Every structure is written in C-alpha cells, then in structure tokens.
Chain A
C-alpha cells in the first residue's frame, strides 16, 4: 500500500525566481487575426505576470473553445485547451485537486455565457479559487460571425440577417446574480487598467470574474469603440474606485447617484457632490453593484469599469480540503482492511 500523497505539496521549489515577459511567452506562433483585441490582453497578462511574483510552474491557464480560448497556447505556463463551454468545470476539478496552483480560466462570450453558462454560474456560486476572464466581443468569432448571448438586440449578423430578436445577457449582471465574490470589468484598449483588474482578480480568494471588453475587428469591429477609444474614454467610461465618489467626464462633471429605480447618472453641479454615490466594493448585498451593472443599457452610453464587488467569503476548495483534514484528524487516515470489514462479517 502506497501512502496517498497530495500532489504538488512534496516539491521544494525555493524562492520565486525573477522573471520577465519573455519567460511567460511560449514559443508558439500567435494566430489571432492581425488587429484582434486578444493580442493586447495577452501582452497585458504576459507583462503583468513577472510583477505578480507568480511561479510559471504553478500557473495553469484553462480555456474552452473559441478565438479567446486559444490563449493558453501562448503562455509559457501549464495549460489546457478543453472543450466548448466546459473550462470552468475542468478548472474546478483542478483547483479542488490542487489548491497550490493559480488557475486562470479564459473564454469568450459564447463559451462562457451560452454553452458554458451553467458551469460559469455554478463556479461563481461555489466561490472556488479561479480567475475567470471572459473576453466579450459580442460575437462568435471562431465560427465566423454569428450573434452571441451578449450581442445587442437588433444586431445584424450571419445568423440574424434582419436583426437579432432576443435581448442580451449583461455578463456583470449575470455574475452578480450568481453572487460572485469578485466582479470586475476592463477593456482591451487600456493595458494598465487591465493589469490592475487582473492583479486584483489574482489576489482575490475565491472565484474572480472579469469581463474584458474585446474588439473583434473581423466580425464585430468597433462595437466598443464609442466607449473605449482614447478620446472618448473620459466621458464614456466610469472608473469605479473603492471609497471614492463615482465621477466621470473630463471635468468630473458627471456622477452616479441613487434614483427611485436604481442608480442614475447626474450632473454633479445639479445634485451636489454630497449626493454622489461613494463606491464600496465590499457591500455584501450585491444590489447596488447590480444596479451599477445596469447603468449602461448599450455600449454606446457611459459604462462602469473597474471592480464592482470584492467581498471575502469562504473559498470552496479550501473548505472541501478542510473537511477531509478534519475527518482524518478525528478518525486517522483510512485503513483499507478495516473498510472491507466495516459491514457485518463472518468466518468460514
């Protein structure tokens, strides 16, 4: 009988080595379309990793299927390109088996909100230690341009030639509906912002959900341009900062306040700064964060980015492992011969 080991705990790896971006870049040729927003997300990640002090061998990228899901091939870490929609499930098993690892989950809007929607909400509900990045381009990229569950109503695509009939999911609302303990939004045009949000996700204990607005320049070019382009950003992106009044605009002349049907955008001069909502990521009740997530009805109106919610709550895999350790502390490690004799026995 061999002693049952916890894989990953037996190796002494020494201090975390200094790394550079090159150490985190694999030797594989990146095959996204030239100009695709995925490139900037990848480089933001590769540049951030050395700063996080993460270990390459302890880092795993798990993805589903789609353009976004090719991401793991380009990181010089461990990685699995799984099947469409199932990355949160595979990552859940890995994170449960190996709490010593940093597990990132990458997928597109179709991957994580259509075929894999169920796995996403349940991963968020359990609050398992995963950093989940949803690259939202509001289109099915890899299958060449059908509408996705985040495409806007009326959207003309190959599979909705006279306009999409259904309304979209708002990924932040979905995550908050599942009571995710960390919910944030960033976009592919701002490396610093992405890195700050990814860092926060990395540091969060539990499921961290990040929506990355991503441009698909082939099948849905410019869907977010009216909010993410450099020259409009000040007026169109509402940067949420914990403990600060929610203000935006070149002169910080706009702000967010509570209205009768949830939060609304107002001119600060009209209501007075004292009536501007002060952002608090740590409110346990997700209602205000949810209301903030509903602020922008389309990507053509001012849209909050940054961390909507970050609360401490029991992490799943640690609790599962703790139950096992408690039982082992109480009963000792299991003995197979005893197990086989745990029902009534008789001798012949």
Chain B
C-alpha cells in the first residue's frame, strides 16, 4: 500500500486511524452507488468498515428538494470498528438540498466538499435557501472545498461524443474519483467495475471513467494535496473476506441451511421494503434448487411456505412489519401444525407504512405476542450485517430440529448496511439433521400399526411423515388435537395439556448462555438485541478505554431467553437497555426477571451512534458514583 502513496509523489499524506465520509445528493445523483463503490474499494484495500445507506421512500422525490436527498455514510478504519460512525469527518454535498439536510451531521471543523455548479438560484430556492451559503460565513467552521463537478465532468466527456445531459449523470463518478484520490483508494476495482457493470454501453463506460479520472486528477493537480489522507489496512483476523450487507448474508445463510439440511429451499414472499432484496437474491440461486414464489400477498406467501414445509422443503417467508401483521393467523397455524418454518421480518419504521426505508426495531412485541391464542415461537435476531448469515442458519436449525415456526428479526440498517465478513469454511458449518417418519409409531386396539402425528419424543417434538410416505396417511389441522393421536379433540383437559405442551416444548429449546463483554465487576450492564450491538459495543469500548467500568450482553435468542440471563441481570446494580423502540425488550426483562432495567429509546429512523450510548452510560456511571458518595 505504501507503494501507491510513494508512486503519486506526494510526501505529506497524513495517516489516520479512521475516517467517516458521507456522500449526500439528490436521489437521482447516484449517491448509493458512489458510496457503495467507495466502500468496495476500501474493503479490497483491507480496511475495516461499516456503512449506513439512507434513502428516501419515493423512487424519485422532486429533484433538488430536501425530501429527495439520498445519503450514504461509510466509516473506514485501520482497526476493528462496529458502527458507521457518529459524525462524518467529510461531507460530500452534491447540491444545496444535500448541504442543508446533512450539514448538521458533519463534525465541527470537518471537510465539506460541494459541487458548486448546483448552487444556482433554482436549486438554492428548492432547498429553502434565500442566498448561497457558499457566499456568507455560515460555513466558516468547516474546511470547505468548492469544486465545479458538473462542468469539469462535462468538459472531460466532451470529446467522447457524450451529450452534455448524459455527461451530467456521470458527476457522481467525478466525486468518487476525487474522494478516491483524497483517501488514497486503489482505482482499479472501480474502473473494472465500471467495465463490467456497463458492459455493452461504451459511451456510458467512457463517460464514467472520464469523470472518475477527472476527479482523481483534480485532487492530484490542485492545492488539495495538503488534504490527502491514508487510512491503512486494518489488522483483521487472517482469512478471506468479502464485503456483505445483511440481506445478502441472510439469503446466503438460507441457501447454506438448505445445503446443510439437504432440504430444498422454498421461499414464499411478497415485495416489501426493506425485505425485497432477499426475494431478488434467492431468485437468482436456482442452481441451488431454490424455489421462489412471489405470491399475491403476504398471507399467500406464508401459506405457500407452510404448504411447502408440509411437503418437505426448508420453507421460508420474508417480509417487513406490515407484512408480518398479515402473516399472524398463518403463523398460528404453523404453531398448531408444528411444522418447521422460518419467518423473516426486516423491521422498518412503523406503525402502518411509517418510514418504509428507515430502520427501527419496534416489532419485538409483535414477534413475541402478535398471534392469537397461546402460540409461542422461537425468536432470533441478527446483530450485524454478516451475522445475518449465521442467524439464518440458526433459525433454520431451530425450525427443523424442533418442528416449529421461528421468527428471525433483522432491520433496515442491517439489511442495507455492509461490513467486511471473514468467510466461513463451508466444511466447518454444522450439518442440520432432519429425520422424517417412515414407520408406524403406535398400535391400535386391534393390534395394528398406526401413525400418530402428535406422539412426541423426549424433546416434545412430534414426528413428521411427508405426504408420499406409504401407510402413514394422516390428517392435521388448526383444530385442537388430541395429545398423541392428533385427532380433533374439544376435550377441555386435553386442550389445557396441549397448550402447556406447546408452551413447554418451545420454552425448553436450549439456547447458548449470554457472554458478558467488558467488566464483569462493573455496576452497570448494557443489554442489547439486534442491530444495537455495534453501537453498544463501540460505546462500551470507549467508556472502558477512558478507564471506567461497564459491561454488556447481547441477545441473539429473544425466545427462549438464555438460561443464565436472569442471574447476569441481577448481578448488576443498574441495567440499561438501548432499543430502537419505546422499550420493548426492557418490558420483557422486567416481567421475566423482576429487575429494574431501564430503557434508552431512539425512534428517528436511524441506528444509535456509539456516542449516544456512550453518553447515556456516562450519565448512569456518574449517578452511580453519586449514590455512593
């Protein structure tokens, strides 16, 4: 890597441990793509990283308006990081609206790079400015770099025969080229990517490359030399890495579970943000024998998955909050039928359509209790984008081992955010053992062999005989069943027994103990679930680095809860539970363990920053010290 820096002949490249860059522009400006490419180049360069794409709910909100701003934040570092960063060090604002909506995120004194060509009267007015902020001194607190990105890009494309209006669309590659120079990113991955992405469209390839090179050259040839920075590769554990987002990892985890169990994967789904990418991704993997079914609605999607499960597939249905609400009755059926099923909920801002493209984690109560009757379901939640892979396998393992529907919770932040992932060796993944019944398991009064579909084993798991199995024909359904025979039964005692059996069989599924991170002897424990892991872990590290004590535990299994959790909770004086909801886990913990756990809520469509949790921890630690003095 040092080679490259020397090759440019620039002596004064500053070395930084980390940098947070935020690309912001109009939805039509290609900011997600720009951020994504910068991220991939950084991943290949060897940085640790974490990303936060943020885009509006409308496909094309009115151009140039605040509502149309799309942003992509990426945190790159030379050490192990867990979040996309508290506040960007660099903000790239492609138009006045982006500046106006995102300037507040920039750290004081941070670098602001603006496309000054867009700061004309019309765009300023659309962003609600009555004058250009570039003229006054309101940006005095930042290091402002004004670049005429549009005109330089058009100039660079002039000789290629690209129409000026088309050239305008390549200006994001100018920004990418400039940032790639400033942060000493390798250029080849981006140029190669342009070639493959736009294969067959030579003019587009030409324009994008010209824009990218112009941006890179702009950095090199202007006084920006002093701004050049390098964030060296992180010392990550050895192995092969790829940059992965949560939905891709989740999809691959499901494919892996199919391979591990030997059951064909069946996905029933209905498009909904931010879960749709899983349907897209799995639809590509027919080579793995994956069947995807885009149903007429979410109820049909889960219904079809139940049908496929009954037929012997590894059945999955994927959705987001509103869709999960529709699946409620069918999940109850799966509970009653005791069929394996993975229900994936990529949470988003609610209620109702809410904030469809923004993250939130307020479906925990619905996951726990959102079905009629006593209908317990195991719940697992992923903690990072790459962890979605393991969590998907875990959900499938529980479903297939215990013949039960399982809820897998992820959220918009994990779904779209990405991080480097140390690829597992396929041989190390544990097989999922599935056994279907092929023989009678009971004798009737006449001494003949019969099959009883609800005759449970020592784990209270019922046998499943797939249709097609000779002699084991039987009927199952949503009506209450007689314990053992599975025949319809309205007997009150039997019903009470069955309710308890269903409850017990799920409650007794073994899950791993929670592991305490940080100081076991601290006074304060932070408890997290889902995507708060990154921010909590970052915050706990900072607090401990500052010499104070704090501990954290993170829950992958939300139902059943780890057996040691109660003892762990009770051994701390204070328990803080950060959640992207009004305090749902905290209610469960209080009800379950009678501990005085305290919520920390955030409901802004964005994940916690480590700083926010660090601050909350700090306040509690001060209070605890105050109590003692």
Q: Which of B241, B255, B263, B306 contacts A345 (CB 8 A)?
A: B241
What per-residue 1/0 map shows which CB atoms of B279-317 lie under 8 Å from chain A? 000000111111101011101110111111111110100
- Beta-carbon contacts under 8 Å, B461-500 to A: 466-479, 487-488
Residues of A within 8 A of B424 (CB): 340
Within the assembled complex, what's the spacing in Å between the Cα atoms of A331 and B488? 48
A97 and B239 in contact (CB under 8 A), knowing A11-B468, A336-B255?
A: no
Residues of B within 8 A of A101 (CB): 311, 467-468
Within the assembled complex, what's the spacing in Å between the Cα atoms of A61 and B307? 12
Most buried by B among A5, A78, A321, A334: A78
Within the assembled complex, what's the spacing in Å between the Cα atoms of A331 and B286? 10
- Beta-carbon contacts under 8 Å, B241-272 to A: 241-244, 248, 252, 255-256, 258-264, 266, 268
Within the assembled complex, what's the spacing in Å between the Cα atoms of A93 and B268? 8
- In the complex, are the beta carbons of A1 and B259 less than 8 A apart? yes
Taking the nearest CB of chain A, how far is it from the CB of B459, in angstroms? Answer: 21
- Beta-carbon contacts under 8 Å, B323-343 to A: 329-330, 332-333, 337
B431 within 8 A of A: yes
What per-residue 1/0 map shows which CB atoms of A68-103 lie under 8 Å from chain B? 000011011111111100100111111111101100
- In the complex, are the beta carbons of B475 and A341 less than 8 A apart? no
Within the assembled complex, what's the spacing in Å between the Cα atoms of A332 and B259? 15
Taking the nearest CB of chain A, how far is it from the CB of B422, in angstroms? Answer: 8
- In the complex, are the beta carbons of B312 and A7 less than 8 A apart? yes
- In the complex, are the beta carbons of B468 and A328 less than 8 A apart? no
A261 within 8 A of B: no
Q: Which residue on chain B has the smallest CB distance to residue A326?
A: B286
Residues of B within 8 A of A90 (CB): 303-304, 306-307, 310
What per-residue 1/0 map shows which CB atoms of B583-617 lie under 8 Å from chain A? 00000000000000000000000000000000000
Residues of A within 8 A of B244 (CB): 343
Residues of B within 8 A of A348 (CB): 46, 233, 235-239, 241
- In the complex, are the beta carbons of B264 and A83 less than 8 A apart? no
- Beta-carbon contacts under 8 Å, A87-136 to B: 89-98, 100-101, 118-119, 122
- In the complex, are the beta carbons of B286 and A93 less than 8 A apart? no
Residues of B within 8 A of A92 (CB): 293, 295, 300, 303-304, 307
- In the complex, are the beta carbons of A340 and B252 less than 8 A apart? yes
B43 within 8 A of A: yes
A143 within 8 A of B: no
A343 and B243 in contact (CB under 8 A), knowing A73-B477, A73-B488, A101-B311?
A: yes
Q: What is the size, in residues, of chain B's interface with A at 8 Å between Cβ atoms?
A: 81
Residues of B within 8 A of A58 (CB): 467-468
- Beta-carbon contacts under 8 Å, B404-432 to A: 423-426, 431
Q: Which residue on chain B has the smallest CB distance to residue A84?
A: B329
Within the assembled complex, what's the spacing in Å between the Cα atoms of A118 and B287? 31
Within the assembled complex, what's the spacing in Å between the Cα atoms of A92 and B469? 20
Taking the nearest CB of chain B, how far is it from the CB of A221, in angstroms? Answer: 27
A340 and B426 in contact (CB under 8 A), knowing A93-B311, A119-B296?
A: yes
Q: Which residue on chain A has the smallest CB distance to residue B333?
A: A83
- In the complex, are the beta carbons of B311 and A4 less than 8 A apart? no
A78 and B40 in contact (CB under 8 A), knowing A4-B289, A343-B244?
A: no
B514 within 8 A of A: no
Residues of B within 8 A of A81 (CB): 475-479
Most buried by B among A3, A82, A340: A340
Within the assembled complex, what's the spacing in Å between the Cα atoms of A90 and B303? 5
Within the assembled complex, what's the spacing in Å between the Cα atoms of A98 and B255? 19
- In the complex, are the beta carbons of B473 and A97 less than 8 A apart? no
A274 within 8 A of B: no
Taking the nearest CB of chain A, how far is it from the CB of B332, in angstroms? Answer: 8
Residues of B within 8 A of A162 (CB): none
Taking the nearest CB of chain B, how far is it from the CB of A328, in angstroms? Answer: 6
Most buried by A among B235, B287, B329: B287
B545 within 8 A of A: no
Within the assembled complex, what's the spacing in Å between the Cα atoms of A82 and B290? 25
Q: Which of B289, B329, B472 contacts A57 (CB 8 A)?
A: B472
What per-residue 1/0 map shows which CB atoms of A6-18 lie under 8 Å from chain B? 1110010100000
Within the assembled complex, what's the spacing in Å between the Cα atoms of A108 and B229? 71
Residues of B within 8 A of A98 (CB): 311-312, 467-468
Q: Which of A6, A26, A80, A346 contacts B477 (CB 8 A)?
A: A80
Taking the nearest CB of chain A, how far is it from the CB of B442, in angstroms? Answer: 13
Residues of A within 8 A of B560 (CB): none
Within the assembled complex, what's the spacing in Å between the Cα atoms of A143 and B361? 39
A62 within 8 A of B: yes
A56 within 8 A of B: yes
- In the complex, are the beta carbons of B266 and A5 less than 8 A apart? no
- In the complex, are the beta carbons of A2 and B266 less than 8 A apart? no
Most buried by B among A3, A57, A101: A57
Q: What is the size, in residues, of chain A's interface with B at 8 Å between Cβ atoms?
A: 67
Q: Which of B288, B305, B466, B488 contacts A93 (CB 8 A)?
A: B305
- In the complex, are the beta carbons of B467 and A96 less than 8 A apart? no
A60 within 8 A of B: yes
A333 within 8 A of B: yes
A28 and B487 in contact (CB under 8 A), knowing A90-B306, A324-B289, A339-B285?
A: yes
A327 within 8 A of B: yes
Residues of A within 8 A of B285 (CB): 334, 339
Residues of A within 8 A of B233 (CB): 348
Within the assembled complex, what's the spacing in Å between the Cα atoms of A164 and B330? 31
Q: Which of A13, A80, A96 contacts B291 (CB 8 A)?
A: A96
Q: Which of B46, B286, B313, B467 contacts A346 (CB 8 A)?
A: B46
What per-residue 1/0 map shows which CB atoms of A304-330 lie under 8 Å from chain B? 000000000000000011011001100
Taking the nearest CB of chain B, how far is it from the CB of A30, in angstroms? Answer: 12
Residues of A within 8 A of B313 (CB): 7, 97
Q: Which residue on chain B has the smallest CB distance to residue A320?
A: B291
Residues of B within 8 A of A3 (CB): 262
Residues of A within 8 A of B423 (CB): 340-341, 345
Q: Which of B235, B241, B259 contacts A2 (CB 8 A)?
A: B259
Taking the nearest CB of chain A, how far is it from the CB of B487, in angstroms? Answer: 7
B189 within 8 A of A: yes
Q: Which of A96, A100, A339 contacts B304 (CB 8 A)?
A: A96
Q: Which residue on chain B has the smallest CB distance to residue A60?
A: B467
Q: Which residue on chain A has the smallest CB distance to residue B40?
A: A344
Most buried by A among B260, B306, B337: B306
B240 within 8 A of A: yes
A337 within 8 A of B: yes
Within the assembled complex, what's the spacing in Å between the Cα atoms of A98 and B313? 9
- In the complex, are the beta carbons of B475 and A8 less than 8 A apart? no
- In the complex, are the beta carbons of A97 and B43 less than 8 A apart? no
A347 within 8 A of B: yes
Known: A92-B300, A93-B307, A348-B239; 8 extra A-B contacts, CB below 8 A, are: A2-B260, A89-B304, A93-B303, A118-B296, A328-B289, A337-B426, A340-B252, A340-B423
B residues with CB within 8 A of A: 40, 43-44, 46, 189, 233, 235-244, 248, 252, 255-256, 258-264, 266, 268, 285-291, 293, 295-297, 299-301, 303-313, 315, 329-330, 332-333, 337, 423-426, 431, 466-479, 487-488
Q: Can you list 17 A-B pairs, Cβ within 8 angstroms, ordered by A?
A: A2-B262, A8-B312, A57-B468, A73-B488, A79-B476, A79-B477, A82-B477, A82-B478, A83-B333, A96-B307, A320-B291, A321-B291, A331-B287, A333-B289, A336-B256, A340-B424, A348-B238
Question: 10 smallest A-B Cβ distances: which pairs?
Answer: A81-B477, A93-B307, A93-B304, A2-B262, A89-B303, A7-B312, A334-B288, A94-B307, A97-B311, A334-B287
